[in-house]
Amino acid sequence: MADSIQDIFANQGGSTAPGAKPMVYWGSAGTGGFFSSKDVLNPRTYKVSEITKTQDDAIAQFYTWSDEERAAWGQRLYKLGIIKTPDDYSGMFNAWQQAVQEAANFYTFGGRKVTPWDVVDLFSTAHGSTPTTTTRKSKSFQIPNPGDAHAAVKSIFQSALGRDPTDGELARYSSMLVAKSKANPQITNTTSTTDTSGNVSQTSTTSGGFNPSDVLNSAIENTNEYGAYQAATTYMNALLAKIGGA
C-alpha cells in the first residue's frame, strides 16, 4: 500500500486519553412507536441509539463477511489505489484494520461518528481517487468462404500468369488462404481508463491479420512459370515500344 489510511489521517483525530477504551462507531438505530392504534398522530418520542463495537470486535467482523462482501471491499480499495490488485487478501485485511483503528480514534478520542467505511471515503477525499485502466484483448479470424477464395486465386493467376488456375491449383491455393487466415488472426487491444470523476475513455490498437493478395502473389512469384511469363511479357512490351517508336 503506497499510503496507509493511518498516514493520511494520523493528525485528524482528537487527543488520546490515558486508559480510554477505544470504541468503534457502527451506525445508529431508532426505537419508538405509538401510544395506541387510535392515536397514530401522536407518536412517542423517537429515540436514536448509537451502535458501537470494541475495536477487536470490529476487526473480527472481517471474518464474518460473505465472499461477495469481501470482493466488494477489495474492489473499493483497488479503485482508490489502496491495494494493487482487487483480490489482495492481506492488503484487504490490513486496510480494514487501519480503517477500524481510525474510526475508533475519531469516535473515542475525537467525538466524531465515523464508521470504518466512512474512513475509506475520507481517504478518497483527502488522497484523491486513482484512475483505473483495464485492457481487453480480442481475436478475429478473416477466414474466406470458398467463393471468395476461388475469386481471389483466379484474379491473381490472371494478373501474374495471364491464365486461369487449373482445378488442382484452385484447390491448393484456396486451401493456402484458409490456412493463413487461421494462423494469422487480427488482434485488437482495447484499453479503458476511468478517471477520478468516473469518466471512461477508450483506445484501440489492431495488429496481425493478413492480406490475401500478398499471400498469393508471394506464392506464385516463387514459381518458374512466373519468371518465364514476366520475362516474356517484359521483352514483348519492350519490343513493341521500340517498334512503335521507330
pLDDT value of position 77: 86
pLDDT value of position 171: 93
pLDDT grade, residue 93 (50/70/90)? Answer: very high
Please give the single-letter amino acid code of residue 98.
Answer: Q
Mean pLDDT, the chain, integer: 77
> What single DSSP character describes residue 39?
-
| pLDDT tens, position by position, 154-187 | 999 998 898 999 999 999 999 999 999 989 888 8
Domain boundaries, the chain: 5-130, 134-245
pLDDT value of position 243: 64
Angle at 237 between CA 233 and CA 243, to 5 degrees: 145
Q: How far is CA 94 from CA 71, 114, 146, 153, 206, in A?
A: 15, 18, 61, 65, 41
Of the candidates 225, 236, 240, the one whose C-alpha atom is nearest the C-alpha of residue 162 is: 225
pLDDT grade, residue 34 (50/70/90)? Answer: very low
Scan for cell 485502466, then name that residue. 133
| pLDDT tens, position by position, 97-119 | 999 999 999 888 888 888 888 88
In the predicted model, what is the mean pLDDT of residues 223-246?
A: 70
How far apart are the C-alpha atoms of 30 and 8, rounded to whole Å?
33
Judge contact between 122 and 114, C-beta under 8 A.
Answer: yes
All 3 cell numbers of residue 162? 495471364
pLDDT value of position 91: 92
- Report helix, strand or coil for 114: coil
Q: Which residues pair with residue 47 across a beta bridge? A: 31
All 3 cell numbers of residue 121? 471515503
| pLDDT tens, position by position, 138-159 | 888 888 898 999 999 999 999 8
Please give the backbone phi and psi of residue 219, each rounded to the nearest 5 degrees, phi first: -70, -45
pLDDT value of position 244: 57
pLDDT value of position 175: 93
